[in-house]
């Protein structure tokens, strides 16, 4: 993924048509308490008393981490600094995923604060699955994908620039966590009881809709809803919703 050296902030809001109470878990602070290093043989590190997490990639291996908690729905914030300079061939992945043979996955895309990138509405009424039942962990990794990510593999990773580094800080989760088969949120109230959980009823206003259209017009290079070659039997139902 080619990127600049500036920091990006990514946010996720899983907006569900459910009733929740005030048992939302809001965490911010020590990354040691929120994440486990899962692979990389020393290439991933949590530094500065839990304030900074770094992933490194060299020719031998990349690295990765995952959240200690699983989340059912919530608002998640984290500041990421992507690989600076010539990062062609490298991929910094940041996503949520459940486990099992039929898993849910939500991939993040990067922009600046306050600018919507994608809106995925609940269209279960027309048969489109919606990720509301399976708890998901946060996963992130830095790895080499120069066999496909750069013009189909035409541009290779410049290993003279290695090690490549991505960094993370200021993680905050205002979310319903999942533990022992149950959510930390119950279904006893009809509206959020705190300002911090106002995202539960948040929708894109007209200004945000215009920002979304601007991003799509100027930066979107692929839209599966217009890929008739991929879907010769007809586009997915959400494309016409």
Query: What tokens were used for 240?
Result: 């016409």
Q: What pLDDT is stored for residue 23 in this prediction?
A: 39
pLDDT, residue 92, reads 94
Give all domains of the chain, ordered by start, each with its CATH number.
7-117+128-203 (2.60.120.200)
Catalytic residue among 51, 109, 119, 210: 109
Instruction: Let me know: does 103 contact 134? Beta carbons within 8 Å.
Output: yes
Please tell me which residue in 51, 105, 119, 210 is annotated as part of the active site.
Answer: 105
Cβ 130 vs Cβ 204: under 8 Å: no
Q: For 218, left (φ over 0), alpha (ψ -120 to 50), or beta?
A: alpha
- pLDDT attached to residue 28: 56
For the ranges 34-38, 51-55, 77-81, 107-111, the lowest mean pLDDT is seen at 107-111
Q: Note if 105 is an active site residue.
A: yes
Whole-number average pLDDT of the chain: 83
Per-residue pLDDT, averaged over 24-35, amounts to 75
pLDDT of residue 74: 86
- Is the confidence at residue 166, as pLDDT, over 70? yes
Residue 217 sits at φ, ψ, to 5 deg, of -70, -40
- Lowest average pLDDT, out of 17-31, 56-70, 109-123, 164-178, goes to 17-31
Residue 35 has pLDDT above 90, yes or no: yes
DSSP symbols for the chain:
----SSEEEEEEE---S----S--EEEES-HHHHEEEEESTTSEEEEGGGTEEEEEE-SS--EEEEESSEEEEEEEEEEEEPPPS--TTEEEEEEEE--SSS--EEE-----TT---------GGGT---S-SS-BEEEEEEEE-TTTTTGGGTSPP-GGGPSEEEEEEEEEEEEEEEETTEES--S--SS-SSGGGGGGG----HHHHHHHHHHHHHH----GGG-TTT-TT---GGGG-
- Looking at residue 207, its pLDDT comes to 93
Q: pTM for the whole thing?
A: 0.77
At residue 21, does pLDDT exceed 50? no
Question: How large is the average pLDDT for residues 32-38?
Answer: 97
Res 12: pLDDT: 46
The per-residue pLDDT for 126 is: 92
């Amino acid at each position: 993924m080619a990127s600049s050296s500036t920091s990006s902030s990514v946010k996720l809001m899983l907006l569900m048509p459910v009733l929740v109470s005030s048992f939302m878990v809001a965490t911010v602070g020590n990354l040691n308490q929120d994440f486990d290093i899962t692979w990389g043989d020393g290439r991933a590190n949590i530094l500065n008393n839990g304030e900074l997490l770094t992933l490194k990639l060299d020719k031998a291996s990349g690295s990765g981490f995952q959240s200690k908690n699983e989340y059912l729905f919530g608002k998640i914030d984290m500041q990421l600094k992507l690989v600076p300079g010539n990062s062609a061939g490298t991929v910094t992945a940041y996503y949520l995923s459940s486990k099992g043979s039929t898993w849910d996955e939500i991939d993040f895309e990067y922009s600046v604060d306050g600018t919507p990138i994608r809106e995925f509405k609940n269209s279960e009424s027309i048969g489109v699955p919606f990720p509301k039942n399976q708890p998901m962990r946060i996963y992130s990794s830095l790895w080499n994908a120069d066999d496909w990510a750069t013009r189909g593999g035409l541009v290779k990773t410049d290993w003279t620039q290695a090690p490549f580094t991505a960094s993370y800080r200021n993680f905050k989760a205002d979310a319903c966590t999942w533990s022992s088969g149950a959510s930390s949120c119950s279904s006893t109230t009809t509206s959020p009881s705190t300002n911090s959980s106002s995202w539960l009823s948040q929708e894109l206003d007209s200004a945000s809709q215009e920002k979304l259209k601007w991003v799509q017009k100027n930066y979107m290079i692929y839209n599966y809803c217009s890929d008739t070659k991929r879907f010769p039997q007809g586009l997915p139902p959400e494309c016409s919703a």
